[in-house]
Every structure is written in C-alpha cells, then in structure tokens.
Chain A
Amino acid sequence: MALNKEMSAAQAVAQLRDGMTIGIGGWGPRRKPMALVREILRSPLKDLTVVSYGGPDVGMLCAAGKVKRLVYAFVTMDAIPLEPWFRKARESAAIEVMELDEGMFEWGLRAAGMRMSFLPTRCGLATDVLARNPSLKTIQSPYADGEVYVAMPALKLDAALLHVNQADRLGNTLIRGADTFFDHLYARAAEACYVSAETVSERFELDAETAKQNPFERYLVKGVVHAPLGAHPTYLGPDYGWDMDHLKRYNASATEEGGWEKYVAEFVTPGESEYLAKIGGTERAAKLKQPVF
C-alpha cells in the first residue's frame, strides 16, 4: 500500500490524458487549485471536459484552448463578475457547453459519488436548461403523486483537482476555510483525486476539533502535491485573500492584443517558483486582504 502519495504537480498532471473529464474544486474565485491548473497550462493536454463551479480556472483553461466541453452553472470572479476568457470562448462558440443549475450540478456529483446513474430533482424543469441539454431526461415518480422530475445524470469525473490548506502524505486533508464548498463531492465523483496543499506533513496528529475540518477520506486521494500559495490568485481562507491586482492583470489580458500569450510568458511558462517570486511570495500573500462579502 502506497502510504506516501506525495508527488509533484507535473507528476500529477502527467497522469491525466487528452479527452478526460476533469472536475475542479472550489467556487468562483475561492480556493481554486490554481497551481495544478497552471501545470495543465504548461502541459500538452487537450480536449478536456471541465466540470467546475467556475472562476479563473475555467477562464485560463479556455484561454489556452484546453477545453472541449464545459459543464458549469456559472463562471465568475465575483469582484469582476464577468470572466473574460470564458465569455470569449462562449461568444466565439469555441467550446461545447452543458449549462446546469447549481443544485443540479451538486446532484450530478452526488449521483456519481453514490454510484447512481441519476438523482431526481425539480431544479431545471420548465427552463431552457432542459431545452438546451437534450441529453437530460425527466422521470415520473412511481408513487401515487406521479410527479415529474429531472433525472439528473451522474457527473462522473476521470479526475478531480482540489486545493486544501493542509495535507499529509497519506492523503488526509484539512480545509480550514469557513466553507468547504462541494470539494468532498468532487473527490467522491472522481476515479482519481489529486489534492494540492499549502503544507504537506508526514502524518497528521490532530486534536478532535481540528480533525472535524477533514472533508473526505484519504482513500479517495491518489496524489498529494505540495503547492504553497497554490490557490493564488483566488482566495484561501484563512491563509490568504484573493489577489485583486493579479486578477485585474489577468482580466486585462483579454482586451490586449496577444494578452494571453503575454500572461503565459510572464506567469505560467517560467514555472511555479518563478510565479511565486513574481507575485511577491509569501510576504505579499500574507498581506492580501480576505474578501469581505
């Protein structure tokens, strides 16, 4: 039994294949596994189906032409509501889409984690979510009520990418932020889950209160990647806030000529240690303000 699951981001991404369905944890500009996303940007991977409560993770993968199909309920950076590269991809019809209600999305992940083919829900009925996704079917209750529901199909993932505050080499994780979002469901829905973490220890030795911050079992985790500031420029409560200057710089790349190529040359190609230096390292990260909603 491999009790040391630690690997580099490159080793984790090397296990992904063209055409895979990849789930990305977090929510909008919050606790996104951006170090792993940047590693995908550096790789030759292509034709991905990306499943995400989307933020700049989705935008960057669209900008780089990695996305064949997007499964989403929204793509936003909150303080910058409209994600520029997602918009470009949508408005140029460069990507196929499966646009879902946020709750249907959750239900799809849950169904996959429970090894069900679908779960019933009212969400999506009488909207264009059904009209635009002819693959979605309805089902009638077999009981006396006879109600008709959407049969939300399982969103099975080939891989899930998550970022957490702490992990150990066995694959135990802690999410210390106020909200764990739906990361546990991505982990359960995936064939293989790769977790990046701010710190990686040999083995956790936790008190009971801290152990409650463990969102899912280590048997779900295939790889652990040490990635300090690995959610940057998104926000990782309580360790660091979002980097609005960086998000604005990224946002501006969509309106400059060759903007994306410049962004990649400056922040992606040189590698993660250069990235950390360019964004001002841990010193500046410590000063990034936690967002106030």
Chain B
Amino acid sequence: MTQMTENEVVSLAELMIVAASEAWRDNGELLASGIGVIPRIGASLAKLTHSPELLMTDSEAFLVSEPVPLGARGDYQPKYEGYMSFERVFECVWGGKRHAMIGPTQIDRWGQTNLSSVGPYEKPKSAILGVRGLPGNSINHINSMIVPNHGPRVFVAGEVDMVSGVGYKPERWAPGMKQDFVDIRLVVTDLCVLDFGGPDHAVRVKSLHPGVTFEQVQAATGFPLLQAPGMGETPLPTAEQLAVIRRMDPHNLRSQQLKGNPPAVRTAAAA
C-alpha cells in the first residue's frame, strides 16, 4: 500500500467521500448501503468513525462487523457477524431500516430519480439499467444520492424522464398513498452538497466545495436552488479520515471516479 506523504494533494473524490459519510451520521442502527465506490467508502468511513452502530454487508450476502476494503482483498478476511441475502435486504427495505446512497442518471427538483431510460419511454434514446429497487427504496427508507458530474443533464429542468424513485411532487401522490416514509437526505456532487430542506422540500445548497461559487452550481442545475442558512464550505478530510479512506480503498479506486481525479481545492482556472 502506498503511503500518502504530507505534500500529496487531497482529491475531490476524497472530499466527496467525507461529505457522503455525513449522510449516515445519527441514523441509529440500520443497514447502510453505499452503492458505488464513493458511497461505499463514505458508509465505511461513517461506521469506522462517527457511527459504529451502522450495519454493513460485504456487498454480497453477509453482514460484517468491520467494513470490507474495496477490490482484491489479499490476506484480508471479512469479519462476518450475520447474513444478508438479497431477500433479506428487501425485508430491511420494507421495514424502513436502511439508508442507501446511489447515483441516479437523472434527478429533478422534487427529488425524483431515474435509472431506467432517457428519452421517450417506448423507444428510449438510452436504455440504462431499469428502475431496479428505486421505487421500493424511495418510498420505504432514507435515501441519499451521489452525482460525480453535476450538470443540467443530471439535474433536469422538468421531471426526470422515467420516475423510478419517488420524491416530493404532490401531483404524484393520490389520496391514501403513504408519503410519510419518504426521506431524502443529501445529494453529494462534485460541486456541492444539496438537501431538500427548503420550503415544501425545495432544493438547497448546504455547502459548496472549496473554490466553487453558488452561481456556478446554479448555472449547472436545471432548476432554481436556494442557499441553506449558514451555507458554508464543504470540509476537507482530516488526517484521520484520510487514513481510514486509504485503508478502505487500498487499490485507489477512488482516483478513477471523477474525470481527471481533480484536487479538492480548485483554483479559479480549474473551476
């Protein structure tokens, strides 16, 4: 494993991992599912620092008492504490004891997400994965999102092309449909951290990454944004957090998540 020296630059991916880990703070005992490299390291960081009560899996079928490092494991033996088949994951979903973070293809101002297809549904311009578990996840438990390429193609002006995950759009909810369990927390992007804490769940910028302006985020977003009270700068990772991140990601997969693996602190020119 390579050791980072003092003068090595903290990457934007690492800053996003720390921001992602905050999503799982004070969640209590529930299943933390970070899908993809940045969310998974984020969940691992949460469990290994501020939220040891979280449950995590080996991303296959077992609960582990210690988050499993990403990629080839060498001599590392997972520390199993229980079982979590896909069937049991669904039970966690329906019981509401889960907080998942995924990267949808599109997100709209109501927090609705799309992982199905882009363009006309009958003959899509691009077929993606399918709605997967998004309808069930979004209506049953806490969800957060990751966006590695903040732009108007992700944060669309209108509704997402195929509503896969539910959100806060009143017209979508007929009388009798239970909206109480919908709980969208953070959207961590390569520019900022967003939440849905404005009036009627309006989207707010919670913090800006170093060197990014609100105007820049607004220009890259297809709908109007609010500034959260006390909107500040997304914190840089501490030395302790960086050490955990390196331990969880020994093959440095995080360096491949953002185009060009930019540094956490952008210069005006790079921005």
Residues of A within 8 A of B (CB): 27, 54, 72-76, 81-82, 86-87, 90-93, 99-104, 106, 121-129, 131-132, 138, 140, 146-148, 178-182, 292-293
B149 interfacial by beta-carbon distance below 8 Å: no
Closest Cβ of chain B: how far from A255's Cβ, in Å? Answer: 15
Task: State whether A126 touches B173 (Cβ < 8 A).
Answer: yes
Task: State whether B133 touches A103 (Cβ < 8 A).
Answer: yes
Which bracket fits the contact residues of B? 35 or more
**Known: A93-B123, A106-B90, A179-B85. Is A101-B136 also a contact (CB below 8 A)?**
yes
Task: State whether A126 touches B132 (Cβ < 8 A).
Answer: no
Per-residue CB contact flags for chain B residues 126-148 toward chain A (1 = under 8 Å, else 0) read 11111111111011100000000
* Residues of A with C-beta under 8 A to B117: 90
Task: State whether A104 touches B136 (Cβ < 8 A).
Answer: yes
**Known: A127-B163, A129-B135, A179-B86. Is A86-B127 also a contact (CB below 8 A)?**
yes
Near A by CB (< 8 A), chain B positions 41-62 give: 58-62
* Residues of B with C-beta under 8 A to A126: 139, 163, 166, 169, 172-173, 177, 179
* Residues of B with C-beta under 8 A to A182: 86-87
* The residue from A82, A100, A121, A122 contacting B129, defined by CB atoms under 8 A apart: A82
* The residue from B62, B122, B135 contacting A101, defined by CB atoms under 8 A apart: B135
* Residues of B with C-beta under 8 A to A104: 135-136
- Give the A-B pair count, Cβ closer than 8 A: 139
Chain B at the A interface: mostly helix, strand, loop or mixed?
loop
C-alpha gap A180/B87 in the complex (Å) = 9
* Residues of B with C-beta under 8 A to A82: 127-129
B235 interfacial by beta-carbon distance below 8 Å: no
Task: State whether B176 touches A146 (Cβ < 8 A).
Answer: yes
B93 interfacial by beta-carbon distance below 8 Å: yes
Closest Cβ of chain B: how far from A104's Cβ, in Å? Answer: 7
* Residues of A with C-beta under 8 A to B138: 127
C-alpha gap A92/B126 in the complex (Å) = 10
> Would you give 24 A-B contacts (Cβ < 8 Å), ordered by A?
A73-B131, A74-B130, A75-B130, A76-B130, A91-B123, A101-B133, A102-B90, A122-B178, A123-B139, A124-B136, A125-B173, A126-B169, A126-B172, A127-B138, A127-B166, A128-B116, A128-B164, A138-B174, A138-B177, A147-B176, A148-B174, A148-B178, A179-B85, A182-B86
Task: State whether A122 touches B140 (Cβ < 8 A).
Answer: yes
Task: State whether A27 touches B72 (Cβ < 8 A).
Answer: no
* Residues of A with C-beta under 8 A to B172: 126-127
* The residue from A27, A101, A121 contacting B131, defined by CB atoms under 8 A apart: A101
* Residues of A with C-beta under 8 A to B126: 87, 91
Closest Cβ of chain A: how far from B150's Cβ, in Å? Answer: 21
Task: State whether A128 touches B139 (Cβ < 8 A).
Answer: no
Task: State whether B132 touches A102 (Cβ < 8 A).
Answer: yes
* Residues of A with C-beta under 8 A to B259: none
Task: State whether A293 touches B178 (Cβ < 8 A).
Answer: no
* The residue from B132, B178, B179 contacting A74, defined by CB atoms under 8 A apart: B132
Closest Cβ of chain A: how far from B44's Cβ, in Å? Answer: 14
Closest Cβ of chain B: how far from A98's Cβ, in Å? Answer: 11
Which residue on chain A has the smallest CB distance to residue B83?
Answer: A178
**Known: A93-B122, A292-B73. Is A127-B90 also a contact (CB below 8 A)?**
no
C-alpha gap A93/B228 in the complex (Å) = 44
C-alpha gap A124/B175 in the complex (Å) = 15
Task: State whether A125 touches B129 (Cβ < 8 A).
Answer: no
B162 interfacial by beta-carbon distance below 8 Å: yes
* The residue from A91, A140, A180, A293 contacting B85, defined by CB atoms under 8 A apart: A180
**Known: A27-B86, A90-B124, A292-B73. Is A148-B116 also a contact (CB below 8 A)?**
no
C-alpha gap A292/B116 in the complex (Å) = 26
Which residue on chain B has the smallest CB distance to residue A101?
Answer: B135
Which residue on chain A has the smallest CB distance to residue B40?
Answer: A293
Closest Cβ of chain A: how far from B214's Cβ, in Å? Answer: 31
* Residues of B with C-beta under 8 A to A54: 130
Besides the known contacts A104-B135, A106-B87, 13 further A-B residue pairs in the complex with CB atoms under 8 A apart: A82-B127, A87-B126, A101-B136, A103-B135, A121-B94, A122-B94, A126-B172, A126-B173, A127-B138, A128-B163, A146-B176, A180-B85, A181-B87
